[in-house]
Amino acid sequence: MEKISLGYSPCPNDTFIFYALAHKKIEMDVEFSQILRDVETLNKMAFNKELDVTKASFNAFGFLREDYCLLHSGSALGRGCGPLIVAKEKIQYTELSRKSIAIPGKMTTAYLLLRLFNPEIKNIVEMPFDRIMNAVSLGTVDAGLIIHESRFTYPSYNLVKLVDLGEWWEEETGLPIPLGGIFAKRKLGTAAIRKIDRFIKKSIDYAYRNPGQAREYIKNNAQELDDDVIDQHIRLYVNDYTLEIGDGVIAVEKLLKTAGELNLIPHSDKPVFID
């Protein structure tokens, strides 16, 4: 049986998506070895070509496009789901470029959006996404760029929202915000990539039809264990675009084109998909 290395994050949307595949709830002729890491670690592993199939940020994809292609299923893309800039108190836009801002990694789409939003912001501090709110709350940094379930829990740290970068992107482009996708090594070949794509779509469909089955797996891996937060997270980041990205690829291409024109990612003629 063919063996494929598969990387995805421990966040509820990913564990929801991959539960059936990881637990062999669907019929497959491929054996997947799962590696669960935060998205920035997965980005770096993809840079080193360590994973056959992996979740990665669309920012990272801008650098990986020669070796990886986007799958049609599994993407995190939508409206009202973008990263936020938060702080202990209100900071004026004109002052933001002079403040220190914690980011969840330079290859995250969140950081790319921050650069597009305000190119003058230079004083950044990289740290794991789950440490950012605490760092802001303690005053270690002036502000934080938060992602994932932090979107729902930052008020409990007595933090205030300064900017919703997803909202900004939507107003600027009229398009949903593409955060991350599932990518496969091009060298796997078209037939294998299409098959893997089908398995992921079946895994998502299984999770939708059997929502209670994945709960323990999701909670065992989540940073935030509150059921309401987990459910909000899944509803926000798993949607129709996750089953099939469809015309959502227009948003992906727009993001890559904009970043490329500003020399934030390298130019590539490789198509987004294998086909």
- pLDDT tens for 69-104 read 999 999 999 999 999 999 999 998 889 999 999 999
Q: How many CA atoms lie within 13 A of 127 on its CB side?
A: 18
Contact of 106 with 44, CB cutoff 8 Å: no
Cα–Cα distance list, 2 to 32, 39, 52, 176, 273 (Å): 8, 25, 12, 36, 22
Active-site residue set: 148
Q: Residue 44 corresponds to which tokens in the numbers above?
A: 């770096």
> What's the residue count for the chain?
275
The span from the first CA to the last CA of the chain, in angstroms, equals 25
Q: Who has greater pLDDT, 148 or 8?
A: 8
- Residue 152 binned pLDDT confidence (cut-offs 50, 70, 90): confident
Q: Residue 235 corresponds to which tokens in the numbers above?
A: 């509803």
Residue 108 CB contacts under 8 Å (≥ 6 apart), including other chains? 39, 40, 43, 57, 59, 60, 83, 147
Report the relative pairing of strands 84-87 and 143-146 from DSSP bridges.
antiparallel
Which is nearest to 273 in space by CA: 198, 182, 178?
A: 182
d(CA 28, CA 14): 19
User: Residue 2 has what pLDDT?
Assistant: 78
Which is nearest to 116 in space by CA: 66, 186, 165, 187?
A: 165
- Residue 224 binned pLDDT confidence (cut-offs 50, 70, 90): low
Which is nearest to 79 in space by CA: 192, 235, 275?
A: 235
Cα–Cα distance list, 262 to 105, 112, 255, 259 (Å): 19, 11, 11, 5
Cα–Cα distance list, 162 to 92, 145, 168, 178, 199 (Å): 8, 10, 12, 21, 40
What pairs with residue 84 in β-bridges?
146, 164
User: Residue 1 has what pLDDT?
Assistant: 63
Structural domains in the chain, CATH included, are 2-78+177-261 (3.40.190.10), 84-173 (3.40.190.10)
Model confidence pLDDT, tens digit, residues 242-269:
999 999 999 999 999 999 999 999 999 9
Model confidence pLDDT, tens digit, residues 188-217:
999 999 999 999 999 999 999 998 999 999
d(CA 246, CA 77): 11
